[in-house]
Amino acid sequence: MPRGGRRPTVRELLSRRRSNDGVAEYQKLISRNPIFLERVEGVGIIGRDEAVNWGLSGPMLRAFGIEWDLRKVDHYESYDEFDWQVQWQREGDSLARYLVRIGEMTESIKIIQQAMEGIPGGPYENLEMRRFDRLKDPEWNDFEYRFISKKPSPTFELSKQELYVRVEAPKGELGIFLIGDQSIFPWRWKIRPPGFINLQILPQLVKRMKLADIMTILGSIDIIMGEVDR
């Protein structure tokens, strides 16, 4: 939409094809498919305590009947202002992990719709685009800034302390650990990727399973290779 144009009203946005239609299509095509259910139900189960001890998080943990969602636990950002529920299942198998994720898709749509209703109406302008239009060759488009290292502010300083911040990512708990030494760069920096932690449970999940079940279990973990290839 051009700058200064009319923002679509919430009624207009919601009157278009809803994302819920896509979720309903998944439910009809997959969730009630007897072939799919035969391949995932009762496959890849461990004990609830074992899931906690392995440090699982996200849908992997909530599939074992543990209602643990950092958006509810840490009360960060504006999630407390919306009406939504933590999705969880009791069985802990590959089907439970699938159902948790399908339920989270529905809850995410609810959050987005509620957020849209709170957006004020009226014209708007993209201030970032206006800044790019003003400068023909901005410094932050240089190769050194975009692909090598972002230049920190000379007045920025990390105090001498340890800090850990976590959020509820789609795969689970995504954490950032920093140790500062009163310089512009951290003395130590560590990322806790949920996919890397969740993948460690794979040898336990495939015990006493068939060879064909390995791909089913691996898919239910829902890994990202950029997190686990290290």
CATH number of the domain residue 117 falls in: 1.10.645.10
Q: Is the model's pLDDT at 97 over the cut of 90?
A: yes
31 belongs to a structural domain: yes
139 belongs to a structural domain: no
- How many CB atoms lie under 10 A from the CB of residue 190? 11
157 belongs to a structural domain: no
179 belongs to a structural domain: no
Rounded distance between C-alpha atoms, residue 77 and residue 70, angstroms: 11
Rounded distance between C-alpha atoms, residue 182 and residue 200, angstroms: 35
Q: What is the pLDDT of residue 158?
A: 82
Q: Is the model's pLDDT at 67 over the cut of 80?
A: yes
4 belongs to a structural domain: no
Task: Show the domain range for 35.
Answer: 10-121+195-228
pLDDT tens by residue, 191-225:
999 999 999 999 999 999 999 999 999 999 998 88
pTM over 0.75: yes
Number of domains in the chain: 1
Considering only residues 183 and 95, tell me which one the structure prediction assigns the higher pLDDT.
95
160 belongs to a structural domain: no
Q: What is the pLDDT of residue 220?
A: 95
